[in-house]
Amino acid sequence: MGEVSHDKMKDCCSPTRINIEKQQQQQPTIDMQQQPTMDMQQQQHHCMEIPMGMEVHKVVPPPYRSTFRKLLARLKETFFPDDPLYQFKGQPPKKKWILGAQYVFPILEWGPNYSFKLLKSDIISGVTIASLAIPQGISYAKLANLPPIVGLYSSFVPPLLYAVFGSSKDLAVGPVSIASLIMGSMLMQEVSPSKDPSLYLQLAFTSTFFSGILQASLGLLRLGFIIDFISKATLLGFMAGAAVIVSLQQLKSLLGIKHFTKKMAIVPVLSSVFHERKESIKKPKLFWVSAGAPLVSVILSTVIVFAFKADRHGISVIGELQKGLNPPSWNMLVFHGSHLALAIKTGIVTGIIALTEGIAVGRTFASIREYRVDGNKEMIAIGIMNVVGSITSCYITTGSFSRSAVNHNAGGKTALSNIVMSVTVMVTLLFLMPLFHYTPNVILGAIIITAVVGLIDVPAAFHIWKIDKYDFLVLICAFLGVIFISVQHGLAIAVGISVFKVLLQVTRPRTVVLGNIPGTDVFRDLHQYKESAVSVPGFLIILIEASINFANTTYLNERILRWIEEESGEDKVSNIRFVVIDMSAVSTIDTTGITLFVDIRKSIRKKGIKLVLVNPLAEVMDKLQKVNNGGEEFMLYLSVGEAVASLSMGMKNNHASSNSNTYDEEMETIANGVP
């Protein structure tokens, strides 16, 4: 298919070694290096210098593989790019069982080598993150409109599970602000947490269950690439908008407003502040105690409220919290009824967001400490956390950036720090719950604000603005959508714009016209290298930098034909003899894509132009090889340089040998390699 043997090439211009010394003596060539750069820009079309003794190589088709083997190879690259079975190759059966157990339970990998030195570091970091996890757990539960005790339950069971199944040394898990906010805002659209708290709690646990099922399924089926549709720009804009809304929502506690909106948008929140300003003006006598209490210690504010009996003077406190460990909640899961769709939808959205945040945080700290985090293991671990959590009175949990940062800075070495944190929370649940009775809600609001303000990453947004304006548009849309519409709608808008960008790149692939760097066989984008690259007379050389499929063939066909029309000039007589398409960047092609080249070849033949394809990759070559339109095959070359050199010499040979040949005969001579 388009292959020419080396024997045919000895005395002609088609593929293989070209002897051009005699031709150079007969026909002087243009020395491009001797001409000034301005002359090259003005003339635009120059002859390419053909290197002495250039060898034109054959385009070799890929080895034969059955359809089944091709399918297996594609599935492997799609679902197993990291080749998780590689470590089992060549190992004895006993070793394979050990490696398999370590793969499922990473704790078996680092546990046997654990030392007292590591334990000391993990105990310090575990206690440190527990001091942050306890107030955050209570605060984030209130952010999700759940009882504060649920936040502590969610800081006890999930960390124990992650220590067994997780692969990160730094990730500290528990409730997080973004997932709490999303769950609260989505469930509150249909169920009031104040009017029907029992149903609301049931839906929260059910949503957590579906989140865990989704997360674990993505890991087991190795479909983690789905979460890649949430780009960094989307996350930055979404988190910044959520941080603003979360902070404004805390004005209810900070200003002591009772009748506050439940909506998660900036307009109704600010409207509540101004319309209910009379409530905020009525400051209780000891408002300054809780409002001015330092943010660093929940205990201090609790002691102050207790000492001054501030709860009797209008200061809102948590109240009595139930002692004891997590009660079972499997009987509270809802799998039928009118609210099932709401629970599933909330579970999917919160599950994807929590998964994205957890994996991003884990990979961030893994890169700092130079170790690898298995994304699929993390999805399974987080999914198991939430499935088990949903039946033990926990709501959605994942890796927390703030707690993970504290864990890392406190010197945590392994996932055992999560166990230490969990044990500390357990002690709190068993013995210290009465101490939180007088904890003021205002301090919880302040803790939330402190935690979420860090989500507004202005330097990162500015960095995106400098690099990619479209990504910045996605960021801004996510931010504005969250603060002016709602959390989930803002996220949906940003994801939609990101997907539109991907579709735009697929349907409008980048195509450029190449020119030759004089004195070389190097070809580059004429627009980018306009100071050095020049067009080759008689050739239109095009580079396609994307896969070719049904979605972009119409665009490619119209674009290529337009370039040909532009080269034809006013007299509509084409100056082009060959259209050369560089397919080095075309990794895949479908049936419609193959038809594209057949149609282009048929269309340009009427104008006396030949189509030449350069360096088709294995899959593309395999499909081109199966196209045989009436015995006609595609002209193939291994590189643009070889194609231009060979075809240029062919034109010279044929003009010298016979000026009486018709144009079509000349083209056939060149294509068939006949001297």
End-to-end alpha carbon distance in the chain: 20
Tell me phi and psi for residue 126, to 5 degrees.
-65, -45
Cα–Cα dist 599/548, whole Å: 14
Residue with the bigger pLDDT between 29 and 305: it is 305
The rounded percent of the chain whose pLDDT value lies above 70 is 72
Q: Compute the distance between CA of residue 517 and CA of residue 357 in angstroms, rounded to an integer.
A: 47
Higher per-residue confidence, 608 vs 89 = 608
Spatial distance between the Cα atoms of 597 and 5, rounded to a whole number of angstroms: 24
- For the cut 60, the answer to whether the pLDDT of residue 55 exceeds it is yes
User: For 259-291, how does the pLDDT look when each residue is reduced to its tens digit (9 = 90+)?
Assistant: 555 555 666 666 665 565 454 544 444 433 333
Task: For residue 36, give Cα distances in angstroms to 41, 339, 534, 613.
Answer: 9, 76, 13, 32
Q: Minimal CA–CA distance to 138: which of 356, 425, 402?
A: 425
Residue 649 near residue 657, CB atoms below 8 Å: no
pLDDT band at residue 21 under the 50/70/90 scheme: very low
What residues contact residue 9 under an 8 Å CB cut-off, 6+ apart?
15, 16, 17, 18, 56, 673
Helix (H) or strand (E) holding 646: helix 640-657
User: What does the pLDDT read at residue 269?
Assistant: 62
Q: Residues 120-132: what's their mean pLDDT?
A: 85
Residues 6+ apart with CB under 8 A from 107: 163, 164, 165, 415
Angle (deg, nearest 10), helices 157-165 and 375-390: 150
Q: Are 219 and 383 in contact (CB under 8 A)?
A: yes
Look at 78-82, 318-322, 601-605 and tell me which has the smallest mean pLDDT: 78-82
**AA letter at 135:** P
Contacts of 667 (CB under 8 A, 6+ apart): 577, 608, 610
> Residue 47: what pLDDT?
52
Task: Please give the structure tokens belonging to residue 566.
Answer: 């532009």
- The amino acid sitting at 157 is V
- Band (15; pLDDT cuts 50, 70, 90): very low
Q: What is the DSSP string of 280-310?
A: HHS--TTHHHHHTS-TT-HHHHHHHHHHHTG
Q: What is the reported pLDDT for 450?
A: 66
User: What average pLDDT does this structure show over 589-614?
Assistant: 89
Q: In the prediction, which pLDDT does 418 show?
A: 93
| Helix, strand, coil percentages for the chain (3-state, nearest 5) | 60, 5, 35
Q: How does pLDDT run across 196-223, given as a tens digit for each residue?
A: 999 999 999 999 999 999 999 998 888 7
**Which phi and psi (to 5°) does residue 373 adopt?**
-110, 125
Closest CA to 560 of 609, 511, 501: 511
Span 516-533, pLDDT tens digits: 888 888 899 888 888 888
Q: What angle do CA 492, 223, 364 make, to 5 degrees?
A: 75
> How many CA atoms are closer than 13 Å to the CA of 410, on its beta-carbon side?
29
Mean pLDDT, rounded, of the chain: 77
pLDDT of residue 11: 37
How high is the pLDDT of residue 656? 57
Q: Where are the beta strands (DSSP E) in 480-538?
A: 511-516, 523-525
Question: Binning pLDDT at 50, 70 and 90, where does residue 387 land?
Answer: very high
- Greater pLDDT, 304 or 389: 389
- Helix spans in 188-322 (H): 197-220, 232-249, 251-254, 266-275, 277-281, 287-291, 298-308
Quote the pLDDT of residue 282.
46
The two tokens of residue 59 are 């385009």
pLDDT in tens, 156-192: 999 999 999 998 888 999 998 888 888 988 898 889 8
pLDDT of 252 higher than 80: no
Nearest one of 167, 85, 174 to 380, comparing CA atoms: 167
Residue 286: predicted pLDDT: 43
Q: Does the pLDDT value for residue 20 go beyond 70? A: no
Pairing of strands 398-400, 172-174: antiparallel
User: What pLDDT, in 10s, does the model give residues 31-42?
Assistant: 433 343 434 444
In which band, very low, low, confident or very high, does the pLDDT at 628 lie, cut at 50, 70 and 90? low
Pairing assessment for the beta strands 511-516 and 523-525 based on DSSP bridges: antiparallel
pLDDT score for 259:
56
- Between 129 and 651, where is the model more confident? 129
Which residue segments constitute the domains of the chain, with CATH numbers given?
128-255+326-503 (no CATH), 509-665 (3.30.750.24)
Task: Look at residue 54 and tell me whether its pLDDT is greater than 70.
Answer: no
State percent of the chain over pLDDT 90.
Answer: 20
